[in-house]
Structure 1
Amino acid sequence: MLGALAALPAISTDVYLPSLPAVAEDLQASQAATQFTMSGMLIGAGVGQLVIGPFSDRYGRRLPLLIGISLHVVTSLLCSITPDIGTLIWLRVAQGFFNAAASVVAIAVIRDRFVGSEAARLLSRLMLVIGVAPLFAPTLGQAIAGAWQWRAVFYALALIRLLLVVVVWRFMPESLPPEQRRPGDPRQVAGGYAALLRDRHFMALAVIPGLGLAVIMSYVVGSPFVFQDRYGLSQGQFAAVFAINGAAIVGSAQLNAALVRRAAPVRVLRIAVVVQVCCALVLLCIVLTGFGGIVGLVAGLWLVLGTQGMIPANASVLALHHYGHMAGTAAAVIGALQSGVAGLVSPFVGLLGGGPVAMVCVMLAAAALTLLVLATGTPAYRAGGWRERDGMEPGPTTTATGTEEREAEQVQAQGPDQRS
């Protein structure tokens, strides 16, 4: 259920993705403006998470989730009747804002119950569900748009969210007991955010998932025009290519879930970031030389996206490790940076011309910034700079320290039914 909630942003993006050229033609919009209907949703999600995170720390996880996805149903219906591209952009921003509830709550619920390598493993499992969206959503979106045109895609999104409202209402337990909730005083909320912003280590780790999503979104917003306009693929062929690259993200996320059982998340993270930059450089050479044609392009993209599943989950777990007492607020900062950074970076694909070179250059820039942030903002590459406790080695030391250790012991003391 948490995986389905965490996948909502991906579903909102990927079902709509094959319709971008049709939207541009129908609403007489430019490629950059049409791509901003994707990026605008990310910016709205960034703002929404900053609001919803403290709200979930104050009132629990269920209430903000139910409100957010219910309002997402309304905005999806409004998107289906939009008269122009400007209105659609603003509605997509609103969609992102309300969709933020699902992203914040999914991460916060995991942090309410688990820490360390176990949390990293579970976040990687979430990536499995999130990664399924690129495998099937574009095909579904292409089928819906082909039968009833692009506006019908938003009716489908409204139906999916309505079903999730029912599922959450019926089956999702509250993971944050009343005695552990934080006061909702604006000054205390501001103080919590200020404490996080002052933590240079936390902020460096928190921005890494955003740069990772920028890599993905640069590919997402550029790929329909690159593969369909430049290489002449049909919508069905494009959906197949998109599924192949989606499988790379899913596979690496599951590999990460296995690796963190044997190695600290920080060890996996620092290797994956370097490998991704190297793969992005290879991809740029393929695009510039035309080596392998479309096969070479797909293979290079597969390698770059294949490392992505090992980056956000580990960075998020490391960032959240010492903030279990304000998991919703901390998850909101991570989510806001993730959506905001990706939303600001990905439009550069269209602004730079929208071709394969522009798409790959933006992907490479985001990957290189990830390496720079990890190297300068954390001690990940310094000998002895990362204490074992903070690196979260697998085994008994991965549970928690201090208050977090006591919380983990309480969870382990519960019976299987209570834990589930």
Structure 2
Amino acid sequence: MTSSPTSVATRAAVPSLLILAYMSAVGPFGDTEYTPSLPRIARELHVTYGTAQLTMSSYLLGYALSQLLYGPFSDRFGRKPIMLFGAVMFLIGSIICAMSPTIRMLIGGRFVQSIGACAGGVIVNAAVRDAFAPAERARMLMKVDVVFALAPGLGPVAGAFIDNYFGWQANFMLLALMGAILLLATALFFPETNHNKNMSAITPSRIAGNYLIVIENGRFLYHGTLLGIAVAVMYCCLVEAPSLVMDTLGLPSSWFAVVAATLVVSFMVGTLACGLLERRLRVESRILIGYLIMMAGTIWMVVVAFGGFVTFWHMMVPIMVVFTGIAFVLPLAAAQAMAPFRDVAGSASAMLGFLEMGIPSLGTFGVSVLNESPAKDMAVSFLVLCGVALILIAFGSLLEARGVTLESAPEE
């Protein structure tokens, strides 16, 4: 049986897992890769440590806000041109950061860098929605999210080594190189997946209308919030881990390699377990299992942190349990949030990315306010976030009991 031209074109437009994973990873890696350099940046640029941390604040601000524009523009012009623009901005921002003689220029460079960094997440979600059948989306996102979750964990490992031997500017030179590779890979290997471009997608009234369509969808808000909370737990861990390892436990920065390895193992275990349950349990049940696993690890961590049993492995084992649960939630919640949208997939992806970065920004701010000890701060933040998620899931269960369906139906 011969394939029709349409089916051949459709297959040709399917992006590879490798390019999707790399596009998804560059932004989160750039988010945390330079963090071991913050003390050196503060010293060499003659500012306080708090001022140096504004480089992270500007990055998160640009990352969250830019996504709201990438979605509509990718609906209008296609996924590939917008991804190319993002890669160029990331490259330019990284070069500005590497050459910054003042903290103001570095803060501005980080903002420019973040404008490019956030493109990957928006375009990947939209491209998966464009190119894959409903049954395949969660599996593809599950694979991509392994890299997405590992990237911010591996970032400080690489950053600590580079800062120690080459200085803080070298960290941004590495990010510039990654941006150049992203630009080349997108130009050569990323196919256009949006074959139904919306010519009026970027008019102000249409942008507002599209986002209104998205946020009025209760399933989107429900799953998007659950996704954002899971990512917030992950980022709260990554923010506190450097201080836990180096300040509380007095270990060298090389131990970040051990931290990264444990996160790799736990996330892979969670991904495998979630996949094995695919045919046995519905999506909402697996999301609940993910959060119950996260809460179990959190309670374990609370006992360790407040019971005075803090050692490296006493903390890392419950963190591994938590990350196993995160691996359940990320791909399933993302796929369910995106499922209801066809014509405004780019806008939905952008709003999902806004939640995915906005909620973690609130979570990490809350951790900084606690300011007790890294172990206690991590345990309390995990407990609050997982508790909120489980309350939300309980509320969702009540709605389902009254006939409201939260699980998005597969599309043809």
TM-score (norm 2): 0.87
2:385 matched to which residue of 1?
Answer: 366
| Residue equivalent to 1:202 | 220
- Residues 180/267 of structure 1: CA separation in 2 closer, same or farther (3 Å cut): farther
2:128 aligned with 1:110, yes or no?
Answer: yes
Assess, with a 3 A threshold, how the Cα gap between structure 1 residues 97 and 360 changes in structure 2: closer, same or farther. Answer: farther
Q: Give 1:234 shift.
A: 0.5
- DSSP 3-state at the match of 1:204: helix
Please state how far the C-alpha of 1:171 moved relative to its aligned partner. Answer: 1.4
Which SS does the other structure have where 1:183 is aligned?
coil
1:199-231 deviation line (CA, Å, top 9, x unaligned): 233212112222111111111111111211111
Counterpart Cα distance in 2 of 1:34 and 1:219: 20
Higher RCO by CA contacts (8 Å cutoff, separation 6 or greater): 1
Q: Which moved more, 1:30-39 or 1:91-100?
A: 30-39
SS of the equivalent of 2:84 reads helix
Give the secondary-structure state (helix, strand or coil) at the position aligned to 1:175: coil
Q: Aligned-pair distance for 1:297?
A: 1.0
Q: For residues 364 and 30 of structure 1, what CA distance do their matches in structure 2 show? A: 31
SS state at 2:226 partner: helix
> What is the aligned counterpart of 1:49 among 63, 67, 72?
67
**Are 2:325 and 1:297 equivalent residues in the alignment?**
no
Whether 1:148 aligns to 2:166 is yes
CA distance in 2, matches of 1:380, 1:153: 49
Aligned equivalent of 2:184, options 166, 180, 201: 166
Aligned pairs for 1:6-405 (under 5 A) are 6-133=24-151, 136-178=154-196, 183-291=201-309, 293-353=311-371, 355-356=373-374, 357-376=376-395, 378-379=396-397, 382-383=400-401, 385=403, 387=405, 391=407, 399-400=410-411, 405=412
1:268 Cα deviation from its structure 2 partner: 0.6
Aligned partner letter, 2:213: A
Pairwise CA distance, 1:189: 1.5
Letter of the aligned partner of 2:202 in structure 1?
G
Q: Summarize the Cα distance change of 1:65–1:48 in structure 2 as closer, same or farther, 3 Å threshold.
A: same
Quick one: distance in 2 between partners of 1:29 and 1:255?
47
Question: Post-superposition shift, 1:168?
Answer: 0.8
CA distance in 2, matches of 1:47, 1:207: 17
Sequence identity (%):
27
Question: Counterpart of 2:257 in structure 1: which amino acid?
Answer: A
The CA distance in 1 between the partners of 2:377 and 2:147, in whole Å, is: 29
Which residue identity lines up with residue 164 of structure 1 in the other structure? L
Classify 1:266/1:363 alpha carbon distance in 2 versus 1 (closer, same or farther; 3 Å): same
Question: Contact (CA 8 Å) 1:35, 1:350: kept in 2 or not?
Answer: no
Contact 1:117 1:265 in 2 (8 A): no
Shift of residue 103, structure 1, vs aligned partner: 0.7
Aligned to 1:415: none
Unmatched segments (≥5 aa) in structure 1: 393-397, 406-420
> Does the C-alpha gap of structure 1 residues 16 and 179 become closer, same or farther in structure 2, counting only changes over 3 Å?
closer
Cα pair 1:266 1:380 within 8 Å, conserved? no
Q: SS of the residue aligned with 2:99?
A: coil
Compared CA separation, residues 58 and 180, structure 1 to 2 (3 A): closer
- Take 1:273 and 1:254, find their aligned partners in 2: how far apart are those partners? 16
